[in-house]
Chain A
Amino acid sequence: MTESVLTIKDLHGYYGESHVLHGVDLDVRRGEVVTIIGRNGAGKTTTLRAIMGMLEKRQGSIKICGHETIDWPSERIARLGIGYVPEERGIYSSLDVMDNLMLPPKLAEGGMSLDAIWTLFPNLKERRRSQGTRLSGGEQQMLAFARVLRTGAAIFLLDEPTEGLAPVIIQQIGHAIEAMKALGHTMILVEQNFRFASRIADRHYVMEHGKIVDMIRRDEVQVRSDHIKSYLGV
């Protein structure tokens, strides 16, 4: 069995006064694609933000590649080789596409070259001098993706990468994720679209009320589809 790259134990997270995460436990091994699924407001996005050190207050333990990061500032956590694609995409309106792409510093060797990125997302190349926020939703998602592919990150946190996108673009994003998986990258994916998630993920963590309540392996998905439906409220 390969080693764990991310181990979370009894993680509590807060937004101001409100207590959002109530003791999250999860474990991700190198090269795995893991999703966090659950209803809106369950704490999925907050879990990713907690891993990135973007919450005002967090307690518990988050070990990344053997380092306890619970007290670390965001920038130090990122330098462990983490690429974060936020739910709102986070494209900078004061930068054009090219500058958005080139903004994150290199974290390690082995990042994707600019040419490889243009091949994966040809639309971005055409629009490289457009203001970042002038892009369509799909293009912004591609840009948010491309931006972290360049950095040499080996662990990716992807928050709702298919939200609000047309099926054609979801397919393109799916190809990108598969390509990243083939390269041996580790991915933690928050996803509402379970059909999409089940195609690419090795395991699914189910989140309810700020806690992980279940874990479903890929080979159990068929058998447990009723469970999954009730977890997602569909």
Chain B
Amino acid sequence: MSSQVIFGQLLVGLINGSFYAMLSLGLAIIFGLLGIANIAQGAFYMMGAFFAWLLLRELGVTYFYALILSPLIVGLIGAVVERLLLRRIYKLPHEYGLLLTFGILMFTQGLFIYLFQTAGRPYATPPELAGGYNLGFMFLPKYRAWVVVASLMTCLASWYALEKTSLGRTLRAATENPALTRAFGINVPSLMTFGFGAGVALAGAAGVLAAPIYTVSPIMGADLIIVVFAIIVIGGMGSILGSIITSVSLGLLEGLAKVVYPQGSNMVVFVVMILVLLVRPAGLFGRER
């Protein structure tokens, strides 16, 4: 087996891991703040890719502008969804959140299939990032290197914002004790709208990054979100850095499985999930409650 194949698959794994990281990070923020396991995260990822594609086709907005604009639109849609729908179910048990967001996923996916059909739409690699580097042991396309760097930077920036800024501290306080945080005069309901918007915007940004690699299609988010939920279970809900590390490692593991035992590569994440659940039910970085 050539090193080209091995490193090629590992790179794909690393890229998938970066997308998992952005999606699971958003999920962790949303779950912490709203108590909702947002399965619609996959739909927001898909929307991110679609808006980038639409912006280019309809308005001629190029990739780097779309990378800012599309997540912003996705975030605004998320904020509206939070205000109109999610807000009504905070007092109900977690299952309701899962069901409602599953409905949102189905609805959004159906709407996009109705408007754009299921066939994938190609999104050209931006010319600035075309080509690649020959590293000797493998060929590294520039765009793929950019995706890994950009998504990890986004994750680290989000982690920094949560841990080190005053907005992040307020978000953490609102996550830990919303009633008391409100009693200090902090508008927690608005923070929740913002948190949901920011969480789904991360998925939207992942969608834009993914557009030139995978074709843009209404169902691109549905498969991904199942894997991301498994990763959340593996990593546990406790730690932001933990979920980033888990995502990247499992992406790599999947890539490795494609080299060693391709038939099992789609399964490997779930096998790990079962093992982790047996040994550490709270997840690798999670805290027992």
List chain A positions with a Cβ less than 8 A from chain B: 52-54, 73-75, 77-79, 84, 86, 90, 92-95, 99, 102-105, 107, 151
- A103 CA to B181 CA in the complex, in Å? 9
Which chain B residues (165-200) contact chain A, with CB distance < 8 Å? 166, 169-170, 172-173, 175-177, 179-189
Please determine whether A90 and B186 come into contact, CB atoms closer than 8 angstroms. no
Not counting A90-B177, A102-B166, a sample of 9 additional A-B residue pairs whose C-beta atoms are within 8 angstroms of each other reads A73-B189, A74-B179, A75-B186, A84-B183, A90-B180, A94-B173, A103-B181, A105-B186, A151-B185
Q: Are B172 and A78 in contact (CB under 8 A)?
A: no
Residue numbers in B under 8 Å from A104 (CB-CB): 184-186
Q: How far is the CB of B35 from chain A (nearest CB, A)?
A: 16
Listed A/B pairs (25) with beta-carbon separation below 8 Å:
A52-B183, A53-B183, A54-B179, A54-B182, A73-B189, A74-B183, A75-B184, A75-B185, A75-B186, A78-B185, A79-B185, A84-B183, A86-B180, A86-B183, A92-B172, A92-B173, A92-B177, A94-B175, A95-B169, A102-B169, A103-B169, A103-B181, A103-B184, A105-B186, A151-B185
Q: How far is the CA of A54 from the CA of B184 in the complex (A)?
A: 11
**A73-B182 in contact given A99-B169, A103-B169 (Cβ < 8 Å):** yes
Is B183 touching A95 in the complex (CB atoms < 8 A)?
A: no
* Residues of B with C-beta under 8 A to A79: 185
> Which residue, B166, B169, B183, B189, has most C-beta atoms of chain A within 10 A?
B183
- Taken together as a complex, chains A and B put the C-alpha atoms of A125 and B176 apart, in Å, by 24
Majority-rule SS of B interface residues:
helix
Number of A-B residue pairs at CB separation under 8 A:
61
What 6 A-B pairs come out closest when comparing CB atoms?
Answer: A78-B185, A74-B182, A104-B184, A90-B180, A94-B172, A79-B185
Closest chain A residue, CB of each to CB of B171: A94
Describe A's contact surface by its main secondary structure: loop
The chain A residue sitting closest to B91, CB to CB, is A56
Q: How far is the CB of A205 from chain B (nearest CB, A)?
A: 21
Is the pair A78, B183 in contact by a Cβ cutoff of 8 Å?
yes
Q: Within the assembled complex, what's the spacing in Å between the Cα atoms of A92 and B176?
A: 7
When chains A and B are docked, how far (Å) is the Cα of A105 from the Cα of B184?
7
- Complex CA gap A105/B169 in Å reads 12
**Of residues 129 to 179 in B, which have CB atoms within 8 Å of A's CB atoms?**
166, 169-170, 172-173, 175-177, 179
Bound-state Cα–Cα, A84 to B182, Å? 11
Which residues of the partner chain A approach B177 to less than 8 Å between Cβ atoms? Answer: 90, 92
Contact, CB under 8 Å: B183 / A54: yes
Q: Give the chain A neighbours of B182 by CB distance below 8 A.
A: 53-54, 73-75, 78
A79 to B182 alpha-carbon distance, docked (Å): 10
Closest to A74 in B: B182
Chain A residue numbers with a CB within 8 Å of B187 are 75
What's the minimum C-beta distance from A153 to chain B, rounded to whole angstroms?
9
Across the interface, which residues of A come within 8 angstroms of B173, CB to CB?
Answer: 92, 94-95, 103
Tell me which residues across on chain B come within 8 A of A92, comparing CB atoms.
Answer: 172-173, 176-177
Select which of B176, B183, B186 is within 8 A of A94 by beta carbon. B176
> Nearest chain-B residue to A104 (Cβ)?
B184
A73 vs chain B, min Cβ distance (A): 7
- Partner of A78 from the list B166, B169, B175, B184 (CB cut-off 8 Å) is B184
The residue among A73, A94, A95, A107 with the most chain B CB atoms within 10 A of its own CB is: A94
When chains A and B are docked, how far (Å) is the Cα of A105 from the Cα of B170? 10
The reply to whether A107 and B176 form a contact with Cβ atoms under 8 Å apart is no
A182 to chain B, nearest CB (A): 24
Return the chain A residue nearest B178 by Cβ.
A74
What is the distance, in angstroms, from B92's C-beta to the closest C-beta of chain A?
A: 14
Pick the contact of B188: A75, A84, A95 (CB < 8 A). A75
Check A95 against B172 for contact (C-beta < 8 Å).
yes
Query: Which of B173, B179, B181, B185 has its CB near the most chain A CB atoms (within 10 A)?
Result: B185
B contact residues around A90 at 8 Å (CB) = 177, 180
- How long is the Cα–Cα vector from A11 to B186 in the complex, in angstroms? 25
Question: Looking across the interface, which residue of chain B has its beta carbon closest to that of A93?
Answer: B176
Question: Across the two chains, which residue of chain B brings its CB closest to A105?
Answer: B185
Kindly state the separation between the CA atoms of A94 and B177 in the bound complex, as whole angstroms: 10
Which B residues are in CB contact (< 8 Å) with A102? 166, 169
- Chain B residues, Cβ within 8 Å of A73: 182, 189
